[in-house]
Amino acid sequence: MKVILGLSGGVDSSVSAYLLKEKGYDVICAFMRNWDSALNNDYLGNPTVNDNVCPQEIDYQDALKVAEKLNLECQRIDFIEEYWNEVFSYFLNEYKKGRTPNPDIMCNKNIKFKAFLNYAMKQNADYIAMGHYAKVLHTDKKSYLLRAHDTNKDQTYFLCMLSQEQLKKSLFPLGEIDKPEVRRIAHELDLVTKDKKDSTGICFIGERNFKQFLHNYLPAKPGDMVTMSGDVVARHDGLMYYTIGQRKGLDIGGLKNYDNSPWFVIGKNLEKNQLIVGQGYYNEFLYSTSCIASELNEIADPIEEDKVYQAKFRYRDSDHPVKVKKLEDNKIEVTFLEPIRACTPGQAVVFYDNDICMGGAIIDAAYSNGEKRMY
């Protein structure tokens, strides 16, 4: 069977290519180019932005070396326009609304498992494959997304918006092994990526300062940091730079009438351009008992309303017991069986039935005993 693998130039996809070849698949590698600094700046009429840090070209050269080492073809395909329209524009629009988006989820939904899948099908491939830590179970009727063997690296959270049509054409070669084994195989093969550092954050930001990068695309509007009682305790640089539960970068200290407990972001008032802050990791205003989420995606089986599921509210989050009530327009109300800290609009809530990833939805608002939180 013919498989086209997304080869990113990292160690995970490199070892995935080897594993697929060892299993007898006819493997073709393809490097996805999703970001073009000069072109994207031209879209904004802002060619002066210093946007040369993303190591995309280095990744491509590493991908070529891996493919050559494994005696595999490596193609290069451009999804720059698709990425701008389907991922980056979404990213910017969410920040304009004062939310905290997860562009990796949208990249998987619209680029890696849509644009890339369409490309592969035109090449008469039977499957596409990625270096994600996840499992897929293909049955005669449906395909199921399962948590990876390596629970520390499990990436099903980022795959929660995949459709059944996308999943049934997908393979995840790393689903049954852990990261140390991936490194071991890469060293045994002497791949150029064997000791390459795992990529973190968003591709188009790379190692740059996030605040500086976002400032290039969205105008910042400074304002007051206030407590729930309305006391002004500091100034913020722009609401888009902060997320619920954030501690780092607030620079609040030495205030009269307040102790030395750490400060956290506990809400936003977009109308007044105020960042609401409070003291203490366990601040009561950081906790909620339910949320409303939209764009519900059910991967295989429907989510049942009277059943308890495990849910994650961010990547690497622990499991939380919840119940789901379906509303109109593909919205849901999620009731938490235990209070959740920093349930953040723009992020995904992802549902699990033990090891099966059922799907997810995008958080719109959080509530505490029916009262809407200011985030």
What is the tens place of the pLDDT at every residue in 122-143? 999 999 999 999 999 999 999 9
Q: Taking 50 as the threshold, does the pLDDT of residue 51 lie above it?
A: no
Burial class of 73 by CB neighbour count within 10 A (0 to 12, 13 to 18, 19+): exposed
Contact predicate 69/191, CB 8 Å: yes
Compute φ and ψ for 106, nearest 5 degrees: -70, -30
Compute φ and ψ for 211, nearest 5 degrees: -60, -45
Count, residues in the chain:
375
Average of per-residue pLDDT values in the chain: 93
**β-strand 73-78 against 143-146: which pairing, if any?**
unpaired
Which tokens go with 31? 């490097």
Radius of gyration over alpha carbons of the chain, in Å? 22
Q: How far from 193 is each of 31, 169, 175, 304, CA to CA, in Å?
A: 15, 27, 19, 43
pLDDT band at 208 (very low <50, low <70, confident <90, very high): low
Burial class of 230 by CB neighbour count within 10 A (0 to 12, 13 to 18, 19+): exposed
Question: Which is more confidently placed, 183 or 49?
Answer: 183
User: What are the residue numbers of the active site?
Assistant: 107, 203
Q: Taking 70 as the threshold, does the pLDDT of residue 295 lie above it?
A: yes
Give the closest residue to 88 by CA, choosing from 55, 52, 41: 41
d(CA 160, CA 363): 13
pTM of the model: 0.93
Q: Which domains does the chain have, with CATH numbers?
A: 2-211 (3.40.50.620), 220-279 (2.30.30.280), 284-372 (2.40.30.10)
User: Which tens digits make up the pLDDT trace of 335-344?
Assistant: 999 999 999 9
pLDDT band at 55 (very low <50, low <70, confident <90, very high): low
Provide the pLDDT for residue 210: 80
User: Which tens digits make up the pLDDT trace of 78-107?
Assistant: 999 999 999 999 999 999 999 999 999 999
d(CA 79, CA 90): 16
Sign of CA dihedral 187, 190, 195, 197: negative
Provide the pLDDT for residue 38: 54
- How much of the chain exceeds pLDDT 70, in percent? 93
Provide the pLDDT for residue 207: 62
Contact predicate 22/5, CB 8 Å: no
Burial class of 163 by CB neighbour count within 10 A (0 to 12, 13 to 18, 19+): middle
Q: Taking 60 as the threshold, does the pLDDT of residue 45 lie above it?
A: no
SS3 109: helix
**Lowest pLDDT segment from 135-149, 194-208, 242-256:** 194-208
What's the average model confidence in pLDDT over 276-291?
97
d(CA 222, CA 345): 21
Compute φ and ψ for 303, nearest 5 degrees: -80, 130
User: Which tens digits make up the pLDDT trace of 220-236?
Assistant: 899 999 999 999 999 99
Question: Which is more confidently placed, 210 or 27?
Answer: 27
SS3 10: coil
Contact predicate 5/19, CB 8 Å: no
SS3 67: helix
Question: Which is more confidently placed, 121 or 253?
Answer: 121
Question: DSSP letters of 166-196?
Answer: HHTTEE-TTTTS-HHHHHHHHHHHT-TTTTP
Question: DSSP letters of 265-284?
Answer: EEEEETTTTEEEEEESTT-G
Which tokens go with 100? 């905290």
Which tokens go with 167? 């999943």
Sign of CA dihedral 175, 180, 181, 185: positive
Provide the pLDDT for residue 198: 87
SS3 36: coil
